[in-house]
Each structure stands twice: as structure tokens, then as C-alpha cells.
Amino acid sequence: MALVLALDVSSSVDEAEDRLQRDGLARALLSPDVQDAFFASSDPVALQIFEWSGRGHQTNLRDWMIVQNATDLQTVAAALTASRRTARGLPTAMGHALAYASLVLQRAPVCAFQTIDIAGDGANNAGFGPEIVYTTFPFEGITVNGLVVQTGNDAALEYYENSVIRGPLAFVEVADGFADFEATMRRKLIRELSSQIIGRGAKISIEGQG
């Protein structure tokens, strides 16, 4: 699987909340259950992480890395913990973030599955939205999952379910505020990585039928 993780640093996310995202993702990657999911298959996972907000702001926090062992995950986690946001006060240009993610996947290592994991606490409010992106940019065979951070904006979940997630196995996980981000990301990663095993098994089954 080629997995892109996208973190929202738009104006609705303050400094403390941004830190909860970065550190939460780092700790999630190091949790034993997530590491078990990473290495459950003999096929490695290629990982890329970036932050996003306004139309022109997508900054890589970790470019493509093939995760082959626990040391690789420790390297990624350390990079996240040391990182600092590079933009403040910008709107939520989710369509532009998804477009960027699709282009990032064009230069990913060759993988059987491609997944974008986009986290945020609200709907697109700048530039083109996901609906336009999905008909304009290369998204064939790409699954888009969502992590919604609920902060009193109940419409965010509905928006993600109706306009953001994409693909037959796509799903949304919901965090009850940014303090719940780590636990939610942990659940989400396990679910995403487990789908790789299911998909690989289904492919082998189909091929075995001739």
C-alpha cells in the first residue's frame, strides 16, 4: 500500500491542537497494535505525510519512505515530533490538498493499493472542492478515507461522508476533539492497513479461480 497522510493546519486549528495532531500521529505510529498492522503482510507500506491548509500550502513532513521495520516507523515518528507548522491563518482548501495528494501518489513506489488519509475539522471553504478534484485529477484506483475532528461542527462529519471519502471500502473515523486524535488515528491506521490484507486475499482468490 502507498499511504498518504494529510494533516489540517488551517486557521481553525490552533497551536495546541496542531501539536496534538503531530504528536498524536507519531505516538499512533509507534503503538504496538499499529506496528502489528504495518507488518502483518509480507508486502511493505510506502508512507508519505504532509500538512495542508490554504490553496498554495501543502508542505511535506515526510516524503515517501518504504516502511520495512519498526526502526523506520521510529524515524517517521521522530520527524513528526520535531516538525513545526509552516502556515497560520489560512483557509481550508481541501480540494487543493486532495489534488496535491493525487499528484504525490503519481511518484509513489509501485504498490497494489493507493490510499489518501485526510484529517480535518471542517468543510472546504477555499478554491475548488473534492467533487471537482475527483473529476479533474488522476484518482482512478485511489481510496480516500477521512478523519473528522469534532469540535462542535456537526456538519463536518456529514461533509466528509457525502463529499470527501471515495472508493468502495472508504470510511470516516471520528475524533471527539483533538485530544482524541491519537486514539482515532490509531484505529484508522489499523483499519486501513487491514484492508490491504483483505484486498490482497481477494486478489489471490480471484487469480486462483483462473
- Quick: pLDDT tens for 46-61: 999 999 999 989 999 9
- Measured CA to CA, the distance from residue 59 to residue 51 in angstroms comes to 5
The confidence score (pLDDT) of residue 196 equals 62
The confidence score (pLDDT) of residue 197 equals 55
* CATH number for the domain running over 2-208: 3.40.50.410
Residue 182: strand pairing partners = none
More confident residue, 41 or 95: 95
pTM of the model: 0.91
Express each pLDDT in 118-176 by its tens digit.
999 999 999 899 999 999 999 999 999 999 999 876 789 999 999 999 998 999 999 99
The confidence score (pLDDT) of residue 209 equals 43
- Measured CA to CA, the distance from residue 178 to residue 187 in angstroms comes to 15
The confidence score (pLDDT) of residue 205 equals 40
Confidence of residue 178 (pLDDT cuts 50, 70, 90): very high
Q: Which of 104, 35, 119 is nearest to 70 (CA)?
A: 35
The confidence score (pLDDT) of residue 188 equals 97
Percentage above 70 pLDDT, the chain: 92
The confidence score (pLDDT) of residue 208 equals 45
The confidence score (pLDDT) of residue 92 equals 95
Q: Where are the alpha helices (DSSP H) in the chain?
A: 15-30, 32-38, 70-82, 94-106, 130-136, 155-159, 181-208
Query: What residue spans define the domains of the chain?
Result: 2-208
Confidence of residue 23 (pLDDT cuts 50, 70, 90): very high
Residue 101: is its pLDDT beyond 70? yes
Residue 207: is its pLDDT beyond 80? no
Confidence of residue 202 (pLDDT cuts 50, 70, 90): very low
Residue 144 near residue 167 (C-beta atoms within 8 A): yes
